[in-house]
Amino acid sequence: MTALTALPAWQSMLAHAGRLRDMDMRAAFASDADRAERFSAEDCGILLDYSKNRLDDAALAAVFELARATKVEARRDAMLSGAHINSTEDRAVLHTALRAPRTASIKVDGVDVVPEVHAVLDRMCAFAGRVRSGEWRGYDGRAITDVVNIGIGGSDLGPYMACEALQDYAAPNLRMHFVSTVDGWQLTTTLAKLDPATTLFIVASKTFTTQETLTNATAAREWLLAKAPDASAVAKHFVAVSTNAEAVARFGIDLANMFGFWNWVGGRYSLWSAIGLPILIYLGEDNFRALLAGAHAMDQHFARTPLERNLPVIMALLGVWYINGMGARTHLVSPYNQPLHRLPAYLQQLDMESNGKSVRLDGSHVDYHTGAVIWGEPGINGQHAYYQLLHQGTELIPIDFIAAVDNPKSSLKHQRILLANFLAQTEALMRGKRPNEVRDELSAQGLAGEALEALLPHKVFEGNRPTNTLLLDRLDPTIFGALIALYEHKVFVQGTIWGVNSYDQWGVELGKQLARTIESELTSIQPITTHDASTNRLLERARKALVARSNS
């Protein structure tokens, strides 16, 4: 038994979960007029209603006790003060410093990082301003019309998601493109639409060693130079975002065109840093600063609000409650605003790369489940697809329903229909439809006897399916910033309870190493015998196709 599972608070949570596994949420609402109000919390333009969960006051008290017993507050304070809580890489974890106001002071190893953060941010704003106004010119004197971000993982998902989410606030004269994959199809088809003279590339890579990104950046530079009169065009069309100035210089990007950040910014937590440059160019300085301010407001909320009203703490505890208490293995994110369509993909990385761990900080193996599988799509599309399984399948899948009440670009009629569906789903998942209700309904339709009884079980909905509702006042940069920070802190709290390091990602290394070996084997002519039989055969097949293509 690990220290966690031996805790009385853990045991108490499990006991309550056993007691409430089959709780009747309908009855709980019927007998408690204050349930929705009591099981709601609100700040930063976000209302979280978590009343449609298998919970009561005693169970909630037990999970908050678990947060206290696992010292969530002390570790939170350690993170926010710049302690090296990323122990396997001996680093601070300070994405919160990236959105701290100029007047703040946050020290990493004795050095106040806030002045550096704002110095880079000011340079980014000045550069973005020049691109947006048309003052920054390409090699033939024309202004930039298209910006291509070349980056992957944390250097792609956040900026791409934010540009999509906040596109209503974007400059009308700029188009953004995101190239992440080393399937050259993506770069080729993106470039086919563009004019090199009016295209700006942002090469975004914390390490500047990532194979996919450097391969794409090199190809993009060749594409530019094939049209540009000379190599001086690179300085007008390429900027870099990185922590590795040496590698940026080696690639041939002028360091005057580099925007730096620091090793205490994790890739999946980096959209607030220079990695956010595409967001800043697309949305402009005021909107980008509003995004940072919204995240900062959520940081303040997280740091100062008692656990019982603390939005990320509540969401984290509900996750632990279902994963460890009730055996949930996945968690669905269901945004109803279409511009949030990349949010599930972003949260997949944030959550699964952070808490997809099975070793504790002290190196011991966990004896409980950690991060769930995160998945999702815009909810209204999901309703016409996989929601069937949510309503009547055998899996327990907790869901976050997310929607903005105010949605100016959607007509009143559209918005009414969208919100009606949004609200109806959480109600239906909670209430279900019982056999007697199905019977009445079928009788009213004129069905009776055997025909009715045969159909009845198919039309029963068990209900009691747990959902959180996150109602945003609107989808603007400030509230969106707060929403993302809310999820970041949720992930932190869960990682703390599980005792894992949420800030490393050793698990992605093995595949990268093997790919290097296989890549060299794909160019060799030696028979391949070094792998397992399956990999050897597949490799031969792939090599044949590559050879055939190079000979054609």
Residues of this chain that interact with ligand G6Q (CB under 6 A) are 152-155, 205-207, 210, 213, 266-268, 353, 505
Tell me if residue 116 is catalytic: no
CA dist list (Å): 314 to 60, 307, 356: 9, 7, 20
Joined together, the tokens standing for residue 274 give: 């220079």
Tell me if residue 246 is catalytic: no
Nearer to ligand G6Q, 149 or 383 (CB): 149
Cα distance between the two ends of the chain: 62
Q: Tell me what percent of the chain is helix, strand and coil, each rounded to the nearest 5.
A: 55, 15, 30
Phi, psi (degrees; rounded to nearest 5) at 501: -90, 105
* Minimum gap (Å) between residue 152 Cβ and ligand G6Q: 5
Buried b (16+ CB within 10 A) or exposed e, 486-499: bbbbbbbbbbbbbb
Assess contact for 527 and 539: CB atoms under 8 A. Answer: no
Which one of 512, 519, 540, 544 is the catalytic residue?
512
Tell me if residue 512 is catalytic: yes
Nearer to ligand G6Q, 181 or 411 (CB): 181
* Minimum gap (Å) between residue 212 Cβ and ligand G6Q: 8
- Residue closest to ligand G6Q, measured at CB: 153
Assess contact for 213 and 179: CB atoms under 8 A. Answer: no
Nearer to ligand G6Q, 251 or 387 (CB): 251
* Minimum gap (Å) between residue 72 Cβ and ligand G6Q: 22
Nearer to ligand G6Q, 267 or 499 (CB): 267
* Minimum gap (Å) between residue 320 Cβ and ligand G6Q: 22
Nearer to ligand G6Q, 100 or 271 (CB): 271
Q: Classify the phi-psi angles of 464: left when phi > 0, otherwise alpha if psi is within -120 to 50, otherwise beta.
A: left
Assess contact for 485 and 299: CB atoms under 8 A. Answer: yes
In degrees, to the nearest 5, what angle opens at C-alpha 468 toward C-alphas 413 and 501?
130
Nearer to ligand G6Q, 145 or 207 (CB): 207
Which one of 95, 177, 237, 353 is the catalytic residue?
353
* Minimum gap (Å) between residue 357 Cβ and ligand G6Q: 13
| Residue listed under structure tokens 């025909």 | 451
* Minimum gap (Å) between residue 354 Cβ and ligand G6Q: 8
| Residue listed under structure tokens 């038994």 | 1
Using CA atoms in the order 279, 280, 282, 286, what is the torsion angle rounded to 10 degrees? 120
Which one of 384, 413, 450, 509 is the catalytic residue?
384
List, by residue number, the catalytic residues. Answer: 353, 384, 512
